[in-house]
Amino acid sequence: MATVTFQDLKAKAKEMHLKLDLTLLRLAFDYAEQAHRNQARKSGEPYIVHPAKTALTLMEYKLDQATILAGLLHDVPEDTDESIHEIKRNFGDEVAFLVEGVTKLGIIKYRGLERYIENLRKMFIAMAADIRVMLVKFADRLHNLETLDALPPEKQRRIALETLEIYAPIANRLGIGELKGQLEDHAFRYVYPKEYARVKEQFDSVYQKHFDYAEKIKKIVRKELVAEGIVPIDIHGRTKHLYSLYKKLLRHDNDIAQIHDLIALRIIVRDVKECYAALGVIHKLWKPLKGRIKDYIASPKPNGYQSLHTTVFCEGGQVVEFQVRDIQMHDLAEYGIAAHWHYTEEGKRSTIPPKKLEWINQLLDWQKQLHNHRQYLETLKIDMFQNRIFVFTPKGDVIDLPEDSTPVDFAYSIHSDLGDRCAGAKINDHIARLDTPLRNGDVCEIITDKKRKKPNRDWLDFVKTSAARYHIRNATKR
């Protein structure tokens, strides 16, 4: 039976180079262990294993001391006789605030649509108040998924489905790619068990061959980089997560031979200049595939992700994807919004740009506008929890949209008046129909008709965003 001791926490803090007050960490561990002393999990483990595992995950993401302590204490007010006031007295206002945020959030359970939407609203309010509340919730959910076997099948599926539809997409919006992948892979087993078994079998059958080949390529590319005066900080393989592989296989007739990034190679260098120099070295060694070079440094993804991607014909004609980035980009790609709590050498933390969290307040605004609960839930799934693309205005401003959005969605996301008067569009300087799906990195220009007073109701057949639907419906009603 699994156990976690204070020594495990201490070792993890050392491994991650965290500047923690170990005396306070010990006090929090002992306090949680004492509070949960007569409790056990459904899996039969002592209850302390859960908050300790939550804290270990938060350490993996190099979060600050208050968040890690909140992870250890997050179930104390809900499941024991100890109150939030006791936590405040022993561990301070900041830790108590985070614990209270997680406690108020409670467990989102599907008990009728109205209750479910209310719980989601609580989640978004907690996120808007302090995003770290959500980071504790992610770590809590990850361990719950790891121990789902102990629950009845119906409950397993509900928790797993909710993870795929709500938790993993929020992690994605916050840029925490690795955590999103872990949440999805654990949930995948329970939501689609047959598909999970099939994809895992396919992956296992080719993994070793891909791994050995990647090791060979790593040696070649390292030697060439050093010869060009570029000493990489790290070169490592990134294995595709199973749920991500499953979604890609669906687009490729379940043919794993068509998946070129089963193991992608990441090259971490010192700065932006070396990123582009390293890309040049790769292209000098091997021929790139046409249309597969992506510059996310010049044009970051909506969640802030930056990297250079290229897919090349390597040794023996095998296709390999490379990702090239500097250490700051890598930090942000791995930890997303959590990277803002990483300590600098001076012990200071960077602040989160308010624009990065604008979408959370937008979630709350929509809830006020949409009184139909089912419509609101569908809006969340389409607008917020789908894959995102970024599209440029002719002036170079980036507009963040759901995948397969159209020029009409683009127009309404800029201004309702621009949407209402929309008569045509240019995509990458070519005239395009208003129902044309936009792609990542497109430049879109809206052609307006000053005589047009209101939008065309037929646009509702193809628009993707709730903002476009809301304005079209309102304008055509009037």
- For the chain, how long is the longest CA-to-CA vector? 73
Using H for helix, E for strand and C for coil, what is the string for 284-338? HHCEECCCCCEECCCCCCCCCCCCEEEEEECHHHCEEEEEEEEHHHHHHHHHHHH
H helix or E strand, kind and range, residue 473: helix 466-477
The pair phi, psi for residue 445, each rounded to 5°, is -120, 130
Containing 123, the helix (H) or strand (E) segment is helix 113-129
Please give the Cα distance from 43 to 434 (Å, whole number).
54
In sequence order, the β-bridge partners of residue 265 are: 237, 322
At 367, is the secondary structure helix, strand, or coil? helix
Write out the DSSP string of 174-204: TT-HHHHHHHHHHHHHHHSHHHHHHHHHHHH
Catalytic residues: 78-79
Reduced to 3 states, what is the DSSP secondary structure of residue 389? strand
* Alpha helices per DSSP H over 228-301: 242-251, 272-285
One DSSP character per residue, 415-469 reads: -HHHHHTEEEEEETTEEE-TTPPP-TT-BEEEEE-TT--S--GGGGGT---HHHH
Give the Cβ contact number of residue 415 at 10 Å: 12
Per-residue tokens: 382: 């389409």
Map tokens 């506008």 to a residue: 369
In angstroms, the CA 24 to CA 69 distance is 8
